[in-house]
Amino acid sequence: MKQRRQRLILELIRKNNIESQNQLIEMLKEHGIEATQATISRDIKELRLVKELSQSGNYRYVIAGDNISNHTGRLKTIFRESVTSCVRAQNLVIIKTLPGLASAVGSAIDKMEIVDVAGTLAGDDTVFIATMTDEAAERFIHEIEGYLV
């Protein structure tokens, strides 16, 4: 139930400008999920949601971990020294590395706990990264391509 609720919360904040916990509680209720303010507060903390000023001048919830650039220094070093290429296939990102370094790249990505990354699978020279959506994969690959220069 918790995972389903949290997935729905992420979906709702991506598609709507949600300004308050009460608004989020009401939207969850519309989708058949009852939750208390305390539960929503814990979910917001676990999902690393923050309030951001929207273009309309109101604050809305966004995913803080959605922005991979928070981890720029660490990723740049690892990627510059080990990644040879990366491509996207729908919601998957496939990274090719020098032999023996895929595990290090996959581990670095795992430790960053990026909200939209469902998981990684590393072999000897290839890392598969499953993201929650095609758009998340696109954002991820756009960001890491800059590290390969």
In the prediction, which pLDDT does 69 show? 47
Do 76 and 51 fall within a single domain?
A: no
Average pLDDT over residues 102-116: 81
Give me 100's structure tokens.
């023996």
Do 37 and 86 fall within a single domain?
A: no
CATH number at residue 18: 1.10.10.10
Give the percent of the chain with pLDDT over 70: 90
Do 32 and 89 fall within a single domain?
A: no
pLDDT in tens, 17-76: 899 999 999 999 999 999 999 999 999 988 888 888 776 778 888 877 554 444 556 667
pTM over 0.75: no
Higher pLDDT, residue 73 or 84: 84
**What DSSP letter does each residue of the chain carry, written as one string?**
-HHHHHHHHHHHHHHS---SHHHHHHHHHHTT----HHHHHHHHHHTTEEEEE-TTS-EEEEEGGG-GGGGHHHHHHHHHHHEEEEEEETTEEEEEESTT-HHHHHHHHHHHT-TTEEEEEE-SSEEEEEESSHHHHHHHHHHHHGGG-
Decide which of 41, 66, 91 is a domain's last residue.
66
Do 62 and 74 fall within a single domain?
A: no
Do 119 and 93 fall within a single domain?
A: yes
In the prediction, which pLDDT does 68 show? 47
Do 139 and 81 fall within a single domain?
A: yes
Do 46 and 85 fall within a single domain?
A: no
In the prediction, which pLDDT does 67 show? 47
Domain of 88 in residue numbering reads as 68-148
Do 72 and 8 fall within a single domain?
A: no
- Domains held by the chain: number: 2
